[in-house]
Amino acid sequence: METYSNINDHVQLHDRLFVTLFTEEQVQERVREIGAELTGAYRDKCPLFVSILSGAFVFAADLMRAFDGDCEVGFVKLSSYSGTRSAGDVQTVMGLEKDLRGRHIIVVEDIVDTGRTLHFFLDHLRSRQPASVCTVAFLRKPDAAVFPVQVDYVGFDIEDRFVVGYGLDYDGLGRNLPGVFQLSE
Ligand code: 5GP
Ligand code: MG
């Protein structure tokens, strides 16, 4: 069975068909814009980008290269999602060993759905006494919000449909797609 094909404006992953939501060009333009805004706000602060694995690793890699100034990056592994529905409790699987006291933290998330992941992680971060914390989400589903979280920079607000690409997967596949695709109904 063919599990991967990418013809024009759609892609098949496993048993599902996805259609283009944002092209690579649209994604890259938006990342450059957010990078420029972050540069304006953090240029002399040597911020620490904290990327939530796995989904945000692609966005974080592009975003930090769109930042013009000294910066560092760290990774944290949490989990709250399997298949196409949000499920279960958020857990820290792999943490940040760095001392965060006095640091300016830029949390980088792939997508804010219910807000559970970010809400939990922000609570954790505050206990580690950073100088400041801001949040950047590549995508946000405003209709799905359950947990109150402030997202300071949003790539795109989208409808409450399952999406893949640019780091986001469907059961392991699709993270390498340079654009964003949504589940075709
Ligand atoms: P939340 O905790 O806000 O409900 O969900 C956030 C996490 O769920 C994201 O970091 C992402 O890993 C996963 N997620 C939420 N919506 C989607 C989606 O449409 N597609 C994919 N691939 N993952 C999603
Ligand atoms: Mg995630």
DSSP 110-178: EEESSSHHHHHHHHHHHTT--SEEEEEEEEE-GGG--S----SEEEEE--SS-EEBTTB-BTTB-TT-S
| Atom number in ligand 1 closest to CA 120 | 2
Q: Are strands 10-13 and 4-7 parallel, antiparallel or unpaired?
A: antiparallel
Nearest to 175 by CA among 63, 49, 57, 77: 57
Confidence of residue 12 (pLDDT cuts 50, 70, 90): very high
C-alpha 4/C-alpha 26 separation (Å) is 23
Angle at 158 between CA 63 and CA 84, to 5 degrees: 95
Q: Which ligand approaches the C-alpha of residue 114 most closely?
A: 1
Strand partners, 48: 72, 105
pLDDT in the model for residue 84: 52
Taking only the tens place, the pLDDT of each residue in 25-76 is 999 999 999 999 999 999 999 999 999 998 999 999 999 999 999 999 999 9
Span 92-111, pLDDT tens digits: 557 788 899 999 999 999 99
Model pTM score: 0.91
Strands 48-53 and 72-82: parallel
**Overall average pLDDT of the 114-129 stretch:** 91
User: 3-class SS at 80?
Assistant: strand
CA of 170, closest atom in ligand 1 = 22
Residue 179: strand, helix, or coil: coil
Mean pLDDT for all residues in the chain = 90
- Which has the minimum average pLDDT: 52-56, 83-87, 121-125, 155-159? 83-87
CB 51 within 8 A of CB 78: no
User: Ligand 1, residues 78, 110, 123, 138: which to mutate, most atoms within 8 A of Cβ?
Assistant: 110
Cβ atoms of 120 and 109 within 8 Å: the answer is no
Query: What's the rounded Cα separation, in Å, for the pair 183 and 185?
Result: 6
pLDDT average, residue stretch 154-177: 97
